[in-house]
Amino acid sequence: MTPFPIYPQRLVADIRRVLPPEGIVALDNGIYKIWFARNYKAHNPNTVLLDNALATMGAGLPSAMAAHLVHPDRPVISVCGDGGFMMNSQELETAVRMGMHITVVILRDDGYGMIRWKQANMGFTDFGLDYGNPDFVKYAESYGANGYRVESADALLPLLDRCISNPGVHVIDCPVDYSENDRILNTELRERAVAI
Ligand SMILES: Cc1ncc(C[n+]2csc(CCOP(=O)(O)OP(=O)(O)O)c2C)c(N)n1
């Protein structure tokens, strides 16, 4: 049985598997960005939109829309955290109105995962990072988009395939398991760096 909620490593692998070499992944800003930076192999230039400078949350959905406008013939998948998605989710209205074809994966951990990871790394207590979310399926549908909820890790890949193959605005609510972020990306990375 594949673990569920999905591990970020599995998500990165599934998105790589489902996208053709010219497909575009547009990332918002959250801890999954680190997993993509480490594990996602780009086959062509400008196929991974990753803002690592100002790292502005809320950019994932609009950058996917822009990528679609520039390359309407290519599949575009945006990956957002629930926090970042909710900062600009109203742009779903624009995407639907303009008849775009994009797929948005919302990694739902009901919290600010990246800040949790950073606070753990700095030895701070886990404080003030949890929040609730709307029902993302109903939320997407209220804009006239298609909403889906992933119920098992193995269901994600075929769903992504269906979404990138069928024109429309597709929003996927995908529960994510971030329990390994601290061990792998804080402790083990540090140990490795010292060993090298
Ligand atoms: C506009 C903005 N506000 C705050 C931050 C600082 N910040 C970086 S990541 C992050 C949390 C991201 O949470 P979420 O979008 O749910 O993604 P997760 O890390 O949980 O996958 C915050 C608050 C930022 N980069 N941009």
For residues 48 and 42, is the Cβ–Cβ distance under 8 A?
yes
Q: What is the pLDDT of residues 65-90, one digit of tens each?
A: 999 999 999 999 999 999 999 999 99
Predicted confidence at residue 38, as pLDDT, reads 93
- Check if 84 has its Cβ closer than 6 Å to any atom of ligand 1: yes
Per DSSP, what are the bridge partners of residue 169?
Answer: 102
| DSSP alpha helix (H) spans, the chain | 8-18, 32-39, 60-70, 82-88, 92-97, 113-121, 136-142, 153-165, 189-195
Torsion over CA of 114, 117, 123 and 128, rounded to 10 degrees?
Answer: 50
Predicted confidence at residue 53, as pLDDT, reads 85
Q: How far is the C-alpha of 15 from the C-alpha of 29, rounded, in Å?
A: 17
Q: How far is the C-alpha of 172 from the C-alpha of 11, rounded, in Å?
A: 12
Q: Determine the distance separating the centroid of ligand 1 and the alpha carbon of 22, expressed in angstroms.
A: 28
- Check if 8 has its Cβ closer than 6 Å to any atom of ligand 1: no
27, 31, 34, 57: which to mutate for ligand 1, most atoms within 8 A of CB? 57
Per-residue pLDDT of the chain (196 residues; tens, 9 = 90+): 789 999 999 999 999 999 999 999 999 999 999 999 999 999 999 999 998 888 999 999 999 999 999 999 999 999 999 999 999 999 999 999 999 999 999 999 999 999 999 998 899 999 999 999 999 999 999 999 999 999 999 999 999 999 999 999 999 999 999 999 889 988 998 899 999 8
What 8-state DSSP symbol labels residue 90?
Answer: G
User: Collapsing DSSP states into helix, strand and coil, what is residue 106?
Assistant: strand
Q: Determine the distance separating the centroid of ligand 1 and the alpha carbon of 133, expressed in angstroms.
A: 15
What token pair was written down for 102? 């994009």
Q: Cβ of 97: how many Cβ atoms within 10 Å?
A: 11
Q: Determine the distance separating the centroid of ligand 1 and the alpha carbon of 195, expressed in angstroms.
A: 31
Is the peptide bond prior to 21 cis by the omega test (within 30 degrees of 0)? no
- Nearest 5°: phi and psi at 118? -65, -45
What token pair was written down for 188? 């083990």
Report the atom number in ligand 1 closest to the C-alpha of 176: 21
The total number of residues written for the chain in this structure = 196
End-to-end Cα spacing for the chain: 36
Q: Determine the distance separating the centroid of ligand 1 and the alpha carbon of 69, expressed in angstroms.
A: 26
Q: Determine the distance separating the centroid of ligand 1 and the alpha carbon of 183, expressed in angstroms.
A: 20
For residues 119 and 90, is the Cβ–Cβ distance under 8 A?
no
CA distances from 163 to 129, 146, 158, 192 (A): 31, 9, 9, 39
- Check if 56 has its Cβ closer than 6 Å to any atom of ligand 1: yes
* Whether this model's pTM surpasses 0.85: yes
Predicted confidence at residue 77, as pLDDT, reads 98
